């Protein structure tokens, strides 16, 4: 029996839409999981698994202590976890879910990839819980006299991790989905050798506050945080079931127009592939972005180490535009090929927090992302739909590149720009030098 309990309570708020699949496909190819009342919820396993994986990387925690805290099974021995987390249920009466569309682009042709069996484009959709939704969190940690100090440090570490936007839950987290933040947190403990604490525990009253130094979570992280401007217009198509609505409008998250992480990540991956192919080096892309071999389901998939956030757009103006498809032989309009869309048009506002993060990065991977940023910055890399008519082109305003405690600001008004850029040369050099190694080996 535990000598005491540590309790963490609070509200988990979604900073971006979350995809926590149920395995059902009634509303989309991947529906969100629902509770008995038909409301989305966050299973405790989704949260605890992420926390365990993140905190395991701390060099200050011994593997044996880590296993005892989170629980383990090993052949004929094992131990129950010290931590108990309840499923996270919604605070709202009617949590908002939406269905998003997705397509798979052929990076060689730049158009939708064709499914050879169905002879159609590879289109899919998935259901997400909208950002801003809130869920109740309750975590209990049982401790003994011997483990009290360790459990207090772990509890504070978990609380600190959840209070920042450091973790994401669910699927497509590398595409900006599932970012969470802990708010209104309460962290306290009960000592069961004290009668007053036992009474508080039984009557569900708050325990005693405490403080402890959290474990350091050292990670090798490379981050680009850029501010851009839209040169002309932009659209990521979203389709409505309303017959009177336009054929396509730009996608929203809640009330805000956004650049989805999937679209931005797809554009960045495509350009990164083109760069490494030019250099003649293979293997970097799969190691950085992850992969799943569809033709070999038994092959072990790999999760990527790059995360690209969903980006909120400024209050752009959307305007209806009608378009037609021309028969190139006759020069006339093709029958039935009339459609309308509502792209967004720039009013010179800045798009902030275009963020790319690589965990456990290598110098060549950072150099690759810097080259991609250059293309995005100079308008050579477009994002979104209808790129053939000039949409989705950006220009750079400023950027902050940070890695392992170092930071380099980049903007055109920086008097020391050339000096700052020299700090980044070794990243690009690490990538370009790979070409010589590959050519020598081949």
Half-sphere exposure in the Cβ direction for 422 (13 Å, CA): 4
Summary mean pLDDT of the chain: 85
As a whole number of angstroms, the distance between CA 83 and CA 88 comes to 15
Place 441 in a pLDDT band, splitting at 50, 70 and 90.
Answer: very low
Do 153 and 212 touch, CB atoms closer than 8 A?
A: yes
Rg value, the chain, Cα = 25
Q: What pLDDT sits at residue 312?
A: 93
Sign of the torsion angle spanned by Cα atoms 293, 362, 393, 378: negative
Give first-to-last CA distance, the chain, whole Å. Answer: 64
Instruction: Please tell me which residue, 103 or 197, carries the higher pLDDT value.
Output: 197
User: Is 10 a residue whose pLDDT tops 60?
Assistant: yes
Do 50 and 168 touch, CB atoms closer than 8 A?
A: yes
Q: What pLDDT sits at residue 108?
A: 63
Q: What pLDDT sits at residue 336?
A: 63
Q: List, for residues 184-240, the tens digit of each pLDDT value.
A: 999 999 999 999 999 999 999 999 999 999 998 877 899 999 999 999 899 888 876
Secondary structure of the chain: what % helix, strand, coil (to 5)? 25, 35, 40
Q: List, for residues 23-32, the tens digit of each pLDDT value.
A: 887 878 888 9
User: Is 438 a residue whose pLDDT tops 60?
Assistant: no
- Average pLDDT on 267-294 reads 85
- Average pLDDT on 109-123 reads 59
User: Is 439 a residue whose pLDDT tops 50?
Assistant: no
**Other Cβ atoms closer than 10 A to 167:** 18
DSSP states along 170-238:
SB-GGGTTTBEEEEEEEEEEEETTSHHHHHHHHTT---B----PPPP----EEEEEEEEEESSEE--EE
Highest mean pLDDT out of 95-104, 256-265, 321-330: 256-265
- Average pLDDT on 340-365 reads 90
Q: List, for residues 365-418, the tens digit of each pLDDT value.
A: 999 999 999 999 999 999 988 888 888 999 999 999 999 888 888 886 766 667
Q: List, for residues 56-100, the tens digit of each pLDDT value.
A: 878 888 888 888 899 888 877 888 899 999 999 998 888 888 888
Do 360 and 220 touch, CB atoms closer than 8 A?
A: yes
Q: Which residues neighbour 339 within 8 Å (Cβ) at sequence distance 6 or greater?
A: 247, 248, 322, 323
Q: What pLDDT sits at residue 415?
A: 60
pTM of the model: 0.85
Q: What pLDDT sits at residue 54?
A: 87
Tell me 98's DSSP state: E
Place 179 in a pLDDT band, splitting at 50, 70 and 90.
Answer: very high
Q: What pLDDT sits at residue 111?
A: 60
- The enclosing H or E element of 5 equals strand 4-14
Q: What pLDDT sits at residue 1?
A: 58
Share of the chain above pLDDT 70, in %: 89
């Amino acid at each position: 029996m535990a000598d005491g309990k540590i309790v963490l309570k609070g509200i988990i708020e979604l900073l971006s839409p979350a995809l926590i699949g149920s395995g059902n496909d009634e509303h989309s190819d991947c529906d969100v999981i629902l509770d008995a009342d038909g409301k989305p919820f966050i299973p405790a396993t989704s949260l605890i698994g992420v926390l365990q994986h993140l905190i395991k990387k701390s060099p200050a925690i011994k593997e044996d202590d880590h296993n005892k805290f989170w629980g383990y099974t090993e052949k004929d021995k094992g131990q129950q976890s010290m931590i108990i987390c309840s499923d996270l249920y919604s605070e709202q009466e009617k949590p908002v879910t939406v269905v998003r569309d997705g397509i798979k682009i052929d990076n060689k042709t730049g158009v939708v990839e064709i499914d050879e069996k169905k002879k159609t484009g590879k289109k899919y959709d998935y259901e997400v819980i909208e950002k801003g939704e809130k869920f109740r969190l309750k975590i209990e940690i049982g401790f003994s006299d011997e483990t009290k100090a360790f459990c207090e440090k772990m509890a504070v570490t978990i609380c600190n991790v959840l209070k920042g936007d450091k973790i994401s839950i669910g699927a497509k987290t590398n595409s900006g989905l599932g970012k969470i933040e802990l708010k209104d947190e309460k962290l306290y403990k009960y000592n069961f050798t004290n009668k007053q604490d036992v009474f508080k525990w039984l009557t569900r009253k708050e325990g005693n506050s405490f403080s402890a130094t959290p474990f350091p979570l050292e990670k090798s992280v490379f981050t680009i945080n850029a501010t851009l401007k839209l040169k002309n217009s932009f659209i990521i198509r979203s389709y409505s079931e309303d017959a009177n609505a336009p054929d396509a409008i730009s996608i929203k998250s809640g009330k805000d127009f956004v650049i989805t992480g999937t679209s931005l990540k797809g554009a960045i991956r495509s350009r990164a592939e083109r760069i490494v192919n030019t250099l003649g080096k293979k293997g970097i892309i799969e190691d950085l972005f992850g992969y799943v071999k569809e033709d070999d389901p038994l092959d072990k998939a790999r999760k990527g180490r790059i995360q690209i956030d969903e980006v909120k757009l400024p209050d752009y103006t959307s305007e209806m535009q009608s378009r037609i498809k021309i028969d190139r032989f006759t020069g006339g309009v093709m029958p039935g090929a009339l459609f309308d869309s509502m792209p967004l048009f720039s009013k010179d506002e800045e798009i902030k927090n275009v963020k790319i993060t690589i965990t456990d990065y290598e110098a060549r991977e950072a150099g690759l992302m810097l080259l991609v940023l250059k293309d995005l910055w100079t308008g050579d890399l477009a994002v979104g739909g209808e790129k053939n008519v000039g949409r989705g082109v950006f220009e750079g305003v400023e950027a902050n590149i940070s890695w392992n405690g170092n930071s380099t600001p980049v903007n055109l008004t920086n008097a020391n720009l050339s000096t700052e850029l020299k700090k980044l040369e070794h990243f690009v050099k690490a990538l370009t030098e790979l070409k010589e190694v590959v050519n020598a080996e081949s």
